[in-house]
A and B are shown apart, each in its own frame.
Chain A
Amino acid sequence: MDKITFEMKKLKQRSINKEDSVISISGLYKSFGDLEVLKGIDFKLFKGENVAVLGKSGTGKSVLIKIIVGLLKPDRGEVVVLGHHVDQLESKELNALRIRIGFSFQNSALYDSMNVYQNLAFPLTMNRKNLNKKEVDEAVEEVLEAVGLTDKLKQMPSDLSGGQRKRIGIARTLILKPEIMLYDEPTSGLDPITSAEIIELINEVQQKYNTSSVIITHDLTCAKNSSNRLAMLLEGKFLKVGTFDEVFDTNDEQVKAFFDYNFIQ
């Protein structure tokens, strides 16, 4: 059994407490001008589970996680993260909540004027002023070890490959020890081998840091191998939410068409 299948099995065997939701969304609407992107989303993420949100480009997958982390404001609806109504928080309270959420960007969004060490140390030093240099160094080393890139400490982001940038981006979010991880297209633009490595890393992060994750993707392999549940977002609504097999076996024509197209691809 290869490592990724083993990790996947371990992930699926974890018992999920369905009473204990870390993200709870109900009746969420969001539009940009005349374009209605989210049209009444209801969603729950339970503690310790990974949910992959699948859907075509432009269906509002990234908008959804940007609303969860408070980067965008919803037009209507309720978004409760770790017991807090995100859209009702003051800026200080929102920042306190954001420390508990890790956000991995599609293009990694590494600060290109800083090297890897500075990229990782920056969120830590800005949020935990009482840490000394040694403690910061240790934290940086720990997360670099977690993503397997201890030798890249002094490199600039422009010197890293796409996969390495994704790993450093994930390491930067891990340094604040988040309870929830939000991944925006973690495997986009990567070759199959690097994609598999990132999927493996997502599973390892969940095991090691005991996080709950939302993984935004249109990559079926990523969705299948990194999540306990799948949520199909099409035309602004979740058409089907369930395990991979439940979603795959659905009779919904749009969901079927999405799967068929991906398999042909």
Chain B
Amino acid sequence: MFNRMRNKYTFSKGVDEYFSGIHKAYLFTALFFREAFKKPFHLREVINQCFEVGLKSLALISLTGFIVGIVFTKQSRPSLEDFGATSWLPSLIGIAIIKALGPLVTALICAGKVGSSIGAELGSMRVTEQIDAMEVSAINPFKYLVVTRVIATTLTIPVLALYCSFVALYGSYLNVHAEETSSMISFYQSAFKTISFLDITTSVVKTLVYGFTIGIVGCYKGYHATQGTRGVGKAANQAVVLAMFLIFIEEVIIVQIANWIR
């Protein structure tokens, strides 16, 4: 009897916490949009954060993009050979990388690297009262820490995704070139032949949404960190897990919308 009551209480408390969490996240996002268009804009901090996001992930994105290009080409070649359609390889790679793999790989890497770092940084600032210190110095910590970081991830991740796609295509070209002689220009031309303006737009919109998600989730988790150092680790971890989960959901929704438009 007592156990059943306790379970019921724990369950209702969990449901309550879940919905109040969603409400809190909604308010946090709404506050971002309210503050983002108000002065002061802290442009220097936005640029600093753009460099942080870009430089932190550049090496990993280069390596991953390059490997993805090579592996995808290696995997696709035998299937196309069976149908005598190896000439379609650049187009296939182009579609796969520009429309899906480039943005997704970049977003997942940045969710891991940038999202966790934002979550941990803001989390540690919260538990060591640095955010309170800003507030009592009449500085708006939300504007200085959250708005600048979210704008930085939203602007930088599309650029990184574009870069990742080009590196992946280069990796793919090297693999194709090793098998059969072809020029880089004709490879890139073939790769882009089947890519429409809508595809590029969809990719850019996708990466903007991913960038925003990574920034806002990282900031939200870090900003509301509690329980000392344990809370900082938890914030960093949850920032990565939640951002990745949301990225996959957004991928499905955006692809669906793009297909409707097409």
- Residue pair A111, B133 in contact (C-beta under 8 Å): yes
Name the distance in Å between B48's Cβ and chain A's nearest Cβ. 10
A69 to B132 Cα, complex, angstroms: 10
Q: Which of B132, B135, B139 contacts A127 (CB 8 A)?
A: B139
Interface centre among B128, B130, B132, B140 (most CB of A within 10 A): B130
Are B129 and A98 interface neighbours, CB within 8 A? no
CB-based contact B130/A126 at 8 Å: no
Rounded to whole angstroms, the CA-CA distance of A98 and B138 in the bound complex is 6
Q: How many A-B residue pairs have CB under 8 A?
A: 55
Question: Is residue B43 within 8 Å, beta carbon to beta carbon, of the partner chain?
Answer: no
Measured CB to CB, the nearest residue on chain B to A72 is B132
| CB contact between A105 and one of B129, B138, B144 (< 8 Å): that residue | B129
Interface positions, chain B 135-151, Cβ under 8 Å from A, are 135-140, 144
Alpha-carbon distance A91/B144, docked complex (angstroms): 15
Within 8 A of B (CB), among A99-115: 99, 101, 103, 105-107, 109-113
Residues of A contacting B132 with CB < 8 Å?
66, 71, 105, 109
Contact, CB under 8 Å: A109 / B133: yes
| Residue pair A99, B138 in contact (C-beta under 8 Å) | yes
Say whether A242 faces chain B, with CB atoms less than 8 Å apart: no
Contact between chains at B130 and A98 (CB < 8 Å): no
Contacts of B130 in A (CB 8 A): 109-112
User: How many chain A residues have a CB neighbour from B under 8 Å?
Assistant: 25
Q: Chain A residues near B121 (CB, 8 Å)?
A: 113
Q: Quick one: which of A95, A112, A113 contacts B138, CB cutoff 8 A?
A: A95
Q: Which B-chain residue is minimally distant from A123 (CB atoms)?
A: B137
Task: Give Cα A126–Cα B44 distance, bound, in whole angstroms.
Answer: 12
Q: How far is the CA of A69 from the CA of B243 in the complex (A)?
A: 35
- Chain B, range 23-42, C-beta contacts under 8 Å to A: none
State which residues 60-76 of A face B: CB under 8 Å: 66, 69, 71
Residue of B nearest to A129 (CB): B40
Q: Which residues of A contact B138 (CB under 8 A)?
A: 95-96, 98-99, 123, 126-127, 176
Q: Which residues of B contact A126 (CB under 8 A)?
A: 137-139, 144
Q: Quick one: which of A66, A95, A105 contacts B133, CB cutoff 8 A?
A: A105
Interface residues of B in 87-131 (CB under 8 A from A): 121, 124-125, 128-130
Partner of A101, one of B124, B133, B136, B144: B136
In the assembly, what is the distance between CA of A238 and CA of B133, in Å?
27
B203 CB to nearest chain A CB (Å) = 33
A38 CA / B18 CA spacing, docked (Å): 30
User: Taking the nearest CB of chain B, how far is it from the CB of A180, in angstroms?
Assistant: 11
Q: Which of A96, A110, A126 has the most CB of B within 10 A?
A: A126
- Set of chain B residues within 8 Å of A107, measured between Cβ atoms: 128-129
> Which of B128, B129, B137, B139 gathers the greatest number of chain A CB atoms within 10 Å?
B137
User: Of all chain B residues, which has the CB nearest A125?
Assistant: B139
Q: How far is the CA of A66 from the CA of B125 in the complex (A)?
A: 17
On whether the beta carbons of A98 and B128 are closer than 8 Å, the reply is no
Closest to A71 in B: B132
A5, chain B: closest CB distance, angstroms: 32
Residues of A within 8 A of B129 (CB): 105-107, 109
Give B133's nearest chain A residue, CB to CB: A109
Q: When the two chains form the complex, which single residue of A91, A106, A112, A127 contacts B137, counting CB atoms closer than 8 Å?
A: A127
Contact (A71, B139) CB under 8 Å given A105-B129, A107-B128, A111-B130: no
Q: Mark A154-185, 1 if CB is under 8 A from B, else 0.
A: 00000000000000000011001000000000
Q: Is the CB of B133 within 8 A of A98?
A: no
A169 to B89, CA, bound (A): 62
Residue of A with least CB distance to B136: A103
A79 to chain B, nearest CB (A): 15
Bound Cα distance A99, B134 (Å) = 11
Beyond A103-B136, A112-B130, list 13 extra A-B contacts (CB 8 Å): A71-B132, A95-B138, A95-B140, A96-B138, A99-B137, A109-B132, A112-B128, A113-B121, A123-B138, A126-B137, A127-B137, A127-B138, A172-B133
Interface residues of A (CB under 8 A from B): 66, 69, 71, 91, 95-96, 98-99, 101, 103, 105-107, 109-113, 122-123, 126-127, 172-173, 176
User: 4 nearest interchain CB pairs?
Assistant: A95-B138, A123-B137, A109-B133, A109-B129
6 contacts between A and B (CB under 8 A): A91-B140, A98-B135, A98-B136, A103-B133, A110-B130, A127-B137
Query: Which B positions have Cβ atoms within 8 angstroms of A?
Result: 121, 124-125, 128-130, 132-133, 135-140, 144
